[in-house]
Structure formats: C-alpha cells, structure tokens
Structure 1
Amino acid sequence: MGELRFGARDLGNLRFAISPLWETAAAARAVTDPGRHVVHLPWIRRAASLGRGGGLGGRTSPPAALTARSGLLAGRLLPAPRCPLAEIEEELSALLATPPEQVRDALAAVPRPAPTGAGRQPAEDPERVLPELAEALHSWWEAAVRPYWPRIRAALEADIAHRTRLLAEDGIHEVLSSLHPTLRRDGDRLRSPDLPADSDGLGGTGLTLTPSAFADRCRVLGGRRGTPPALVYPARALGLLWERRENTDDALARLLGRSRARLLACTGSPSTTTQLAARTGLSLGAVSQHLAVLRDAGLVTGHRYRREVHYTATDLGTALLTRA
C-alpha cells in the first residue's frame, strides 16, 4: 500500500493537465495487453497492424519492450506534464533531459525480459535508451495516436470539466476521493495499492492530476526541475470514445452553414485558429470570421493560454452537435 501526503501548500498548488507523451506510451502498452483495455478494441485492431513488419515495427520496438514491464515507463522515466496544454515535442525534450543516473536506476529496477530474438535489450546499452525511446514514441504518436488525438483529448477535457465542477460543488477532498475506486483519502494522505510504497510527502510542490484514456490504474510520474509530480488516473466516460462518427449532419449544415458546422464539430477539444484552419482547409481569415459568429451565438468560447486563444464548444454547442 503506497501513499501521497499533502500539506496546505500542496492543495493550493493542485492543477490538471493532459500528457500526450503519457497517452502515447500507455497506448503502446494497451496494444500488447488488449484484454485489460476492452473499451479500446476498435482502436487496438487498427493500431496493432501498424507494428507488424515494415519500418514502423522496428522503430516502435523500444516502447513495446519497455512498456511491457510495469516499472520503467510508468513512473521512472516519463516526465510529469509541465503545463495544462503540453505538446508532445515539449515532453519528448523533457524526456531526453532525464539525468543519466535516473536512467540507470530505472533500468536496474525493471526485471530483464527473456530473450526474444529481437536484438539487444535496453539494459545492454543504457546510453542509447533515451534517444531510441524518444524516436520510437514519436513514431508511434504520429502513426497510431495523433490521427485520433482530437477525440482522445476531447474525452480527457470532458473529464477535467467534470472534476472542476465537482470541485466547485463538493470541494477538493471529494475530487481526490473520486479519482479511482482503489484510491482512498485518509486525512492528509491518499492511499492506494497502485501508489509507490516509498513515496515521500509532496513538500509543497503540489500535484498535477492527469486523466488518461489508456491508464488502467493510477500511476505517479515524478516531478523534476520545479515541475510537480503527476498522478495519472483513468478518465471517466470512455464507453463511446471509438464509436463511429459520421460527417456533420446536413440539417446542422443548413442551419449554420457548412463551414461553421465543420468548425463547431472541430471544437470538441480546445483548438487554435491555426489548428482549425489545418483541420478544415479554410483560411485563417475565414476561420476567425466564422468563430466570431459562433462565439456571438454562444456556441463556442475562447480562453487565452500564453500567446494563443483556444476555442472550445460551449455546453450549448455540444448539445447542438449531439442532437445533430
């Protein structure tokens, strides 16, 4: 039984974030153990074929080998997300900056897999683990995760929206207690069989709560260089994640116009004008004009993060899409 101990400063520094790097690694592991990830079987059937033979199979063999063991990627090498809307390139850079001693400790802590004929094992050449792992994860992201990222991210954003409403209505302790059935709050401690047994108190750094579509239990990602640790937990309401989604209904296109209907359908997860232009094929100017109309109608809302504005469908916009 492991635990995380909170202080008053830790509760004040609690935040949410999404980690595309964690999702990529966890997705790779889901393919190797589909029985534990039944909800993802439609995606697993497509993703599993990508790793068979060819160049992608060779490039993604490091995450397949490392995620097959419980300790390495789970919390010893993958960094905690630094910001709520992290990009995978930022997280890969943080991974590559892992101190060498931490890499050696992680390799030593993981049982060495039996020989499979697939070449040398990571422990035989630890200096090359991080570059190979980063390249493999990036290849797997591009081929198997990125094409589906908007819908995955929308599900994770919906989980965060649910938790923040719960925070407003019932308080932080209810949020922490509801993250997972195995997670139990006991005073200033969170206890679970899934947490590391040797965990120290957070020491005022805070904690980042990170929902995951592919996690089957809670994990802790260690913080480093001022970044607080992250508690990864399984996101809720994933039953319809892989349902077949047709193009926007003609009735909605007749109501809003086809371009605005397409834009509204793309705002299930926070997106910038540049991202929306790339997804829809519209010019930046056209996207901005249509977004202004959708915003004035109460169908989308914009939130500034750093130097960008991210647009998301409002409850009214989501209801309109659902009815369509």
Structure 2
Amino acid sequence: MGDIRFGVDDLAQLRFAVSPLWETIAALRASADPGRHALHLPWIKQALTVGRERTDLLPHLAELEALAPPPRCPLAEIEEELATLAERPERAAPVLAWWEAGVRPHWPRIRAVLEADLAYRTRQLAEDGIQEVFAHLHPSLRWSDDRLSWTGPPVGRLTRDGGGITLDGGGITLAPSAFAARCVLLPGRPAEPGRNGTPPCLVYPSRGVGTLWERRAEPGDGLARLLGRSRAGLLGRTSTPTTTTGLARQTGLSPGAVSQHLAVLRDAGLVTGHRYRREVYYRASELGLALLERTP
C-alpha cells in the first residue's frame, strides 16, 4: 500500500499516453504466464512460436520492467522509446526484434483498444473532473484529498517499502496497457543539461481488453450495397481512432485506396479526422456509428 501526493501544478500537468515499448515488455510477461493472462490466449499461442526473439529476453524481463522509460508524449514511437532504453541496458536490439515478431503485426488492433480507453478517460475528465478519472481508473486505486492511494502489491520500484512519493510539480502520465495485469509505476527522469525531465507514469489495465482478440464481423450486406464493400469495411473499422496505415494493414488495401475511400466517407459525414504529429486519425462520426448499428 502507498500513495502519490499531488500539488496543484501536478494536477494541471496530468497527461495520457500510449507506450509501444511498455506494451512490448508487458506482452513478453503475458506470454510467459498464460494462466494469468487467459484473455490473451489466442495471441499467446502465436507468440510461443516466435522463437528466439522471445526466449532470449525472458531471463531479462525483470530488468526491462525496472528500466523501461516512461513515455514522453501521447503517442510515442517505438524507435524513440528504444533509444532511451538503450541508454540504460544493452538490450534494445532484442527488444526491437521481439516487437517486430510478436507485437507489431497486432499493433493496429492493440493500439485501437488503448486509444479507445484514452478517448473514454479524456471525455470523463472533461465531463466529470479528475476525481472521477482516478476513482474509475482501477479497483486498487483510491483518490482522496490530494493523493492517489492504492491497495495490494507495491506499485513500481519507487514504492517497494510501502511508502509513497510526492510529485515535484511536473505532473504524472497515465498510460493504459492491454497486457498489464495490475497497475505499475514507472519512475520519471530528472532534468539534465540539454534534456528535459520526464514525469513518472502510472500504467493501468486498459478498458475493453476482453474484445481485443475477438473475430470482427464484417458489415452487413445492406451497408455493403449502400457504400460498397471496401468503404463499408473501412467504416466498420473506425469505431475507434485509426490511421490510413493501420486500416491498410487490417484490410489489405493499399494506403492510396484507403485514403480515397476515407475521403468519400468524410465528405458524406460518416467519419471525422484529426491530425496528431505526422498522422491523421479517423473515427466514425455519430452518423457513421448509427449507420453501423442500424444496417443489417
């Protein structure tokens, strides 16, 4: 048991993030303990066949968990995080190999679940405030006064003595994880000459993980006749935010073809797009979602 104590500045610096590096490490632990991660058995059966990339890293799993850097931005790139990890242990190359073999082929599906969680949390923050976000983040967490407390096993390597930490005004990052079985606190990095500091990150189990490996039904014939099968299929995959590249991987269409179909769907008011960094994320509009729900 322990707690994280917040100041006013820390609440103002609250961030959300998705960390592909942490998901890669958490996926490694899940593959090593199938009994505790039964929801992931469809994926674990494939992961066990990956071979050397996975088995080479398993003896170093605890080290990787302890040294994994907290994410610096909402949608971090694996290459950026690996560059930071490489400054700590000499295992960035095998981690990248495991990412490529075991996680990256499924990343569009995983990231869609994580982004849906972020969309839910940010909407909850806007509508109900930070106390409600913390109150529903995970059953082991409790928000009271100026602190976030937890019960159960210690959270992260900062709290093994059962104590707590006080944030220094830089806030904290909250990151959902599809593979985490419990909350984990990743320690931040202090500022150094020429480098900004990184706040701590609280990793928590994501919502919606139970649907991660479900087989997705294709839109009905009625919608396919209305929009065309390719556009209907793309619309059905935008119930959570996704990119042109992600849709191309899921459907087998070329990125150019996906862009053309999305332009038609956007002009019809069925999808919306917003840019973050170098990518545009598309999501079905209320009209698009209603069409998906009502078309047989």
TM-score bin (small chain): 0.7 to 0.9
For 2:76, the aligned partner's letter is A
Q: Unpaired runs of 5+ in structure 1?
A: 52-56, 99-129
Secondary structure class of the residue paired with 1:239: helix
Distance in 2 between residues matched to 1:7 and 1:267, nearest whole Å: 38
Q: Does 1:203 align with 2:168?
A: yes
Q: Note the C-alpha offset of 1:275.
A: 4.8
* Counterpart in the other structure of 1:296: 267
Gaps of 5+ in 2: 190-195
Per-residue deviation, residues 181-206 of structure 1 (Å, max 9, x unmatched): 11111211111243224543111111
Distance 1:175 1:216 in 2: 19
Counting helix residues as a fraction of each chain, which structure ranks higher? Answer: 1
Given candidates 219, 228, 233, the residue that maps to 2:204 is: 233
- Considering only aligned residues, what root-mean-square deviation do their CA atoms show, in Å? 2.3
Aligned residue identity for 1:151: R
SS at match of 1:226: coil
Q: CA deviation at 1:250?
A: 3.8
Superposition pairs for residues 107-186 of structure 1, below 5 Å?
130-131=89-90, 133-186=91-144
CA distance in 1 between counterparts of 2:247 and 2:41 reads 29
| 1:243-258 aligned within 5 A | 243-258=214-229
What TM-score do the two structures reach when normalised by structure 1?
Answer: 0.78
In the TM superposition, residue 302 of structure 1 has moved relative to its aligned partner by 1.1
- The alignment of Structure 1 onto Structure 2 pairs a total of residues equal to 281
The alpha-carbon distance between structure 1 residues 152 and 275, as it changes in their structure 2 partners (threshold 3 A), is closer
Query: Contact (CA 8 Å) 1:151, 1:269: kept in 2 or not?
Result: no
TM-score by length of 2: 0.85
The verdict on how the C-alpha distance between 1:318 and 1:150 changes in structure 2, with shifts beyond 3 A counting, is: farther
Equivalent residues of 2:39, 2:210 under 8 A apart: yes
Q: After superposition, give the CA deviation of every residue in 1:213-245 in whole Å (9 maximum; x if it has no partner).
A: 111110011222422211000012222221123
When residues 316 and 156 of structure 1 are mapped into structure 2, their CA distance, relative to the original with a 3 A threshold, is: farther
CA distance in 2, matches of 1:296, 1:21: 36
Q: 1:168 Cα shift? A: 2.3
Contact 1:179 1:233 in 2 (8 A): yes
* One-letter amino acid matched to 1:146: R
Aligned identity (percent) is 60
Q: Residues 17 and 84 of structure 1 are in contact (CA less than 8 Å); yes or no, is this contact kept in structure 2?
A: yes
